Structure 1
């Protein structure tokens, strides 16, 4: 067997040009030069990681298992001297047995002590009611239990017996109550903890599709249920989940990946569903068909009702939750509206989410605007939360909104000002994204890195 080639970090660092890109991921060395045209994030992402250890950016990008399969043909060897990270020491969730034993002993002593105090209190109360001094009453009570304390008080056998019986009963109840309290606090459990004849309920088997969602269950292909042309070369594809009551289980802001074998090649592309976890039984996508696209032109364009498609997920660095920020500015172009719509819908349909959203949405023509009816409806129903401004390149004579391209002045007028509680989200064609990065930086927003993170002020989907 031929020994595997090993490369040093210095050797990897010499390959950083657009026509010669090497990187390491978890100790494996890859030559990704031939992958730059197919990489969903573009060549810029790969160039930024060229010659370095790209393990963290690779993991943060939310790649699923199929990403490792795609990388296999580009693997050329191992990183010399690489050592896998060791797992952290386990966290001790319970105190040592010695500590528990000493704790129980201290609990017992505390119970006995409080029992004696209870005895004294009972005796003192009785004597005080009879007009006797409390201290002398306590002394009398202790003398009954043969505790050597001097006493000048006369004894009364009937009184003593009654006092002793009631005090012992009070002391026992107090000790029992203390033990039970400490048992609850320390989580003591044994067979005596449970009532007699306890009926153990039969385990209820719940379908994981109804609790966690389909993406958390064992994956299987989904059949196409509907295929509707909604704009030039744009289809609404509706896939059926295994059960009508099942939910997708996709965190807000994340996407799924479609993987198909085309002409012997495994092709994967990512899409953000326009359906969410409230749309039971379906996964719904908006897909633009490119005639020369490997996946869209070669496969998705020809899908027929009933055809099965393999999905993976969740994927992506964004997981939106209420409270992420107070204001969100959005710049979208074409099918880049899908991740924006996912967030807009989640925020507007949540009565407790007061995040304000401003969207600038660009297209070639009026007919290219996707989800316009839905966006306009949210704008009408939630005017304090959401406003949208449309921009088209080729307007009709009746068009009364933005014309041309999204500009710096347009963004300054329509989007929230930079601040700690403000995020800008961008998704669309590469040219639009590049221009947006530039003028957002000029407006004072932080420049995003090539690998998106939720902490970024400007987040690129």
Structure 2
């Protein structure tokens, strides 16, 4: 065993700090080095929590999170070594994982409730005995003037214990009552004192765990509340609202199984809707405009094309109460905080939906400082989808989000861009090419094809045949 520990891999703090990218996450927990990259998606606290701690010593955060005992077993497969020069340190593994080594010294560290209880019982017995003797011998024999060593408190107690009558029968009854009530009072007092000390000193656990260690009982939670509905066995969801928001464009709102469940869709990914239309199985992909903060619902913005198999032949005919079948998550994009510093977006028509999902996630996260520049093209002003929401984000977060609209057929009062998204428009509105910049494109096929060409001319990398997270230009 000693030889095995000697050969164990050791890392310096600087080496650990180099692994702090979303696709390469190391951290230190109590001098142990862990590579949690493959655990990001399974972490119940969310991806962002681990990414923020990447490359650092996360011991305090880990302890304060209040993990259950099985968390330590889950960590084992991700352990890759120790921090250099930590072998001679005292282990900082939570005390709950190893037996206590120091014997508890009650006389030195804390008052002993049993000792205090015996003291109270002794005082009670002494007071009762004194009352009985006083009754037998007479008050004059025990007055403070004749016995100056008696305490004033005992004198008061003896006075209370005096018989109120000289009748033998009454005196006997009084004496029995005094003895009975004294015993009851002593028992209640002793029990109250012991219970009080048990609460104050946490008598059930303070001998076993240090007072700073937080180990709450594991909470039983519905898996749907932790992972999301899409990670479970999907069932049909009913349509609850159908709102026309632009010509042939509807906002469809579906209800999830219960109000407290989240969809569970990673930011940047999409779902698919499958239906049988005219005897043919048809599947189409859509990105919700709702996100995991919108509990209990799923919202889609869909343009209904008259000749579209799924939209014109199925979704356009949906009525409130009808159910659809969903699948997901799907897609290569999984946005997380720290992916890049600047994002340029080119969107056309309903291609705004994946962009809007990212915009919401960034603007609504007060720790995300990613800057977004959106160029959004539509045929007319009425065709601009989610314009109110986009304008609100640009006003509330002017340092994070900027939007520029381009309309093919503008009205006389239109004050923004006219025509199409061109190379010149992109050069003026998008961030300059760089290692910390990503460009995202979604829209009609003609717009996407044109964007690929002029983005290459502007110095951006050419995207691959299939989109990948590592692409500088990502095509949804």
TM-score for the superposition, normalised by structure 1:
0.58
Gaps of 5+ in 1: 1-90, 96-109, 111-177
User: 1:208: Cα distance to partner?
Assistant: 1.7
Residues 1:318 and 2:299 are matched in the alignment: no
Counterpart position of 1:231: 246
User: Which position in structure 2 is the counterpart of 1:398?
Assistant: 413
Give the SS at the match of 1:297.
coil
* Structure 1 residue corresponding to 2:467, chosen from 447, 452, 458: 452
| Pair 435,212 (structure 1): closer, same or farther in 2 beyond 3 Å | same
Unmatched runs of 5 consecutive residues or more in structure 2:
1-74, 80-87, 105-202, 206-214
Structure 2 counterpart of 1:341, from 356, 361, 380: 356
Aligned ranges 1:19-30 → 2 under 5 Å: none
Of the three residues 350, 363, 366, the one matched with 2:378 is 363
Q: Does 1:222 align with 2:234?
A: no
| Equivalence for 1:380 | 395
Q: 2: distance between equivalents of 1:454 and 1:437?
A: 17
Aligned partners of 2:269, 2:377: CA distance in 1, in Å? 22
Tell me if 1:304 matches 2:319.
Answer: yes
Say if 2:262 is the partner of 1:260.
no
How many matched pairs?
A: 288
Residue 272 (structure 1) aligned with residue 291 (structure 2): no
Shift of 1:406: 0.6
1:409 matched residue in structure 2: 424
Compute the displacement of 1:280 (Å). Answer: 0.8
Residues 379-402 of structure 1 deviation map (CA, whole Å, 9 limit, x = unaligned): 111111111000010011000110
TM-superposed deviation, 1:449: 1.1
Deviation at 1:294, TM superposition (A): 1.0
Hey, what does 1:331 align to over in structure 2?
Answer: 346
The CA deviation at 1:264 is 2.5
Q: Secondary structure at the match of 2:368?
A: coil
Question: CA shift at 1:378, angstroms?
Answer: 0.5
Cα offset for 1:322? 1.0
Output one character per residue of 1:289-326: Cα deviation in whole Å (capped at 9) or x when no partner.
Answer: 11111111110000000100011111100011111111
In the TM superposition, what whole-angstrom CA distance separates every residue of 1:132-179 from its partner, at most 9, and x where no partner exists? xxxxxxxxxxxxxxxxxxxxxxxxxxxxxxxxxxxxxxxxxxxxxx9x
In structure 1, C-alpha distance between the alignment counterparts of 2:426 and 2:78, rounded to whole Å: 55
- Counterpart of 1:286 (choices 283, 291, 301) is 301
Q: In the TM superposition, what is the alpha-carbon distance from 1:184 to its structure 2 partner?
A: 5.7
Question: 4+ runs of 1 displaced by more than 6 Å?
Answer: 185-193, 195-198, 200-203
1:245-266 deviations in Å (ceiling 9; x for gaps): 1111111111111111222322
Residue 427 in 1 paired to residue 442 in 2?
A: yes
1:33-87 CA-partner distances (Å, limit 9, x unpaired): xxxxxxxxxxxxxxxxxxxxxxxxxxxxxxxxxxxxxxxxxxxxxxxxxxxxxxx
Q: 1:209 corresponds to which residue?
A: 224
Secondary structure of the structure 1 residue equivalent to 2:468: coil
Secondary structure at the counterpart of residue 273 of structure 1 = coil
Q: For 2:260, what is the secondary structure of its paired residue? A: coil
Aligned position for 2:365: 350
Distance 2:273 2:415 in 1: 38
Q: How much does 1:185 deviate?
A: 8.9
Residue 174 of structure 2: aligned partner:
none
